[in-house]
């Protein structure tokens, strides 16, 4: 038999004894811990958010590359500029911005658990980034890109959640 655990009460004093499961039940009753049901996840919202993220990133990057090429810059020079530190930084900003947008779209479509949906969009983006990863990129690029994806997607979901809670719908 496990020894009982002692938890602090709301006043901060050491309160009654109980098991960890009792503590979790008490916290859930007080709504201190969110309850996650798999049925809260709307797969369609996650898929659409991931499409917005990836297609948006590719579309903006193609637009920028086309704009450079239309200035008479050779294709080799365009690719060299995109792989320069400033080009990679621009790619990070665009990619993380599109992840934010994808998380926002997924959160708005889901209408609940918006932050979770944003995180799932970012997770899908991470998987796709690993599958399509291009070799020869600097380590800092990968670290910043992967470290920023989850917060960017979750922030998009959080903004969607705040818009829903405030009733600020533009629909």
Using DSSP, state whether 60 is helix, strand or coil.
helix
User: What are the pLDDT digits (tens) for 118-143?
Assistant: 999 999 999 999 998 888 889 999 99
DSSP state of 164: H
Q: How high is the pLDDT of residue 7?
A: 45
Q: What is the mean pLDDT of the chain?
A: 84
Query: First CA to last CA across the chain, in angstroms?
Result: 57
Q: Model confidence at 54, in pLDDT bands (50, 70, 90)?
A: very high
Please tell me the pTM assigned to this model: 0.74
Q: How high is the pLDDT of residue 157?
A: 95
Question: Which residues lie closer than 8 Å to 58 by C-beta, 6 or more apart?
Answer: none
Boundaries of every domain in the chain: 1-35, 38-166
Residue 89 neighbours by CB distance under 10 Å: 13
């Amino acid at each position: 038999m496990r020894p009982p655990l002692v938890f602090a009460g709301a006043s901060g004093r050491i309160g009654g004894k109980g098991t960890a499961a009792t503590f979790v039940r008490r916290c859930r009753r007080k709504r201190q811990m969110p309850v996650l049901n798999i049925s809260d996840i709307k797969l369609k919202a996650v898929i659409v958010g991931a499409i917005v993220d990836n297609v948006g990133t590719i579309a903006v990057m193609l637009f920028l590359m086309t704009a450079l090429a239309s200035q008479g810059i050779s294709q080799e020079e365009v690719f060299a500029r995109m792989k320069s530190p400033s080009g990679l930084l621009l790619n990070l900003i665009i990619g993380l911005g599109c992840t934010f947008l994808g998380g926002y779209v997924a959160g708005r479509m889901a209408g609940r658990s918006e932050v979770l949906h944003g995180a799932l969009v970012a997770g899908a983006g991470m998987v796709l980034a690993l599958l399509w990863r291009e070799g020869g990129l600097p380590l800092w690029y990968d670290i910043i890109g992967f470290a920023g994806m989850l917060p960017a997607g979750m922030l998009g979901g959080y903004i969607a959640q705040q818009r829903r809670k405030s009733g600020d719908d533009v629909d």
